[in-house]
Structure 1
Amino acid sequence: MSENYRVMFAGLANDTQPSDAQTKLATKLNASPSKVAAFFENKPLFAPCSKDKALKQAKLLASFGIKSKLQPLNTSSSADNSNNNDDAALQRDERIFNALDYITSSLIRIEEKLDDLEQRLPTVAEQPSTIDEDDWQNDDLLLDEELNTPLKKRSNALLYSLIAMVVLLLIVLGLSFAFPDLFSFLDS
């Protein structure tokens, strides 16, 4: 891994005013004045970068009369943090696998108990069902009655009267559309 550096404020040149340097730097970098002012209070202005880029940033600051120093960032601490994160992730994964193993074994035990209960219950449950199945077969069919009974004829008078009423209403509706003045006496 390449080592990263951060440019930090070290001071001002003898002939440089802090307010002039801040305004020039803010306009050059298009940064907010508060961010530039924070840089003068030893807060980082630039993101960590390679040594070459950090040197270019320091030269830019020097052109405005700002003295700076390069601060190396400790990459080993980030590696330690990543190792700690990896260890924590491994422990979390191990706990999850243990919980899943426990759940699986519990489900297997429950299934075994259900199988045992299932083997005990069918002997009791099958006896009533066999009795019920036999009952319907023992019933005598009532074949004494005739299977071919004559159908009763219904009177179609009601049907014919309804059809006649609908046809009559359709004729009246057609006449009212054809001759609107014919039924004008109903409006008054």
Structure 2
Amino acid sequence: MPVNEVLRLGHPVLRRVADEVALDDFHTLEFANLIQDLKDTLVEQGGIGLAAPQIGVSLRVAIIEIEAGLTRYGELEAMPLTVFVNPKVKVLSLDTAGYWEGCLSVPGMRGFVERPQHILVSYLDAEAVSQTIELTGFLATVFQHEFDHLDGKLYVDHIRDMRLFAYEPEFDRFVAPQLDQE
């Protein structure tokens, strides 16, 4: 499948609340193509998550795939490719932690965002089977970041201190060394 262009901050689709996927739409060629387009685009862009609105489709669909190992976010636990359709989040603990988030729709930038670190996600998988998953730590952050796209939000909307928002080269040069000293 062709890789889709990832929409960038400023495109109106990214600020729209996405529509739910109807049960009748799950077993259509269009839905299968959407899932494949999301997968192909995620791989091509080198991301760990992607939501349908980011490729111009205003539907409540997101995918996440994380390989275990050392990344710019630190040591990560793996999450196999998971398709989330019409997800709903319940915060299980108000304890928060912050991460320097990046986004394919805000290329070249990083910002410090605090989010709840223990959530329960109810969703339909790609076959319309109801699922739940409990997520903690960084995985909880990743999912909330992707879920924001379905609600017309971006991580930049959650940055409390704009001094903690930087271009990646400046982050690497000025911010990361300070973090290493802490």
Task: Tell me the TM-score normalized by structure 1.
Answer: 0.20
Q: Which has the larger radius of gyration?
A: 1
Task: Tell me the TM-score normalized by structure 2.
Answer: 0.21
Q: Flag the structure with higher helix content.
A: 1
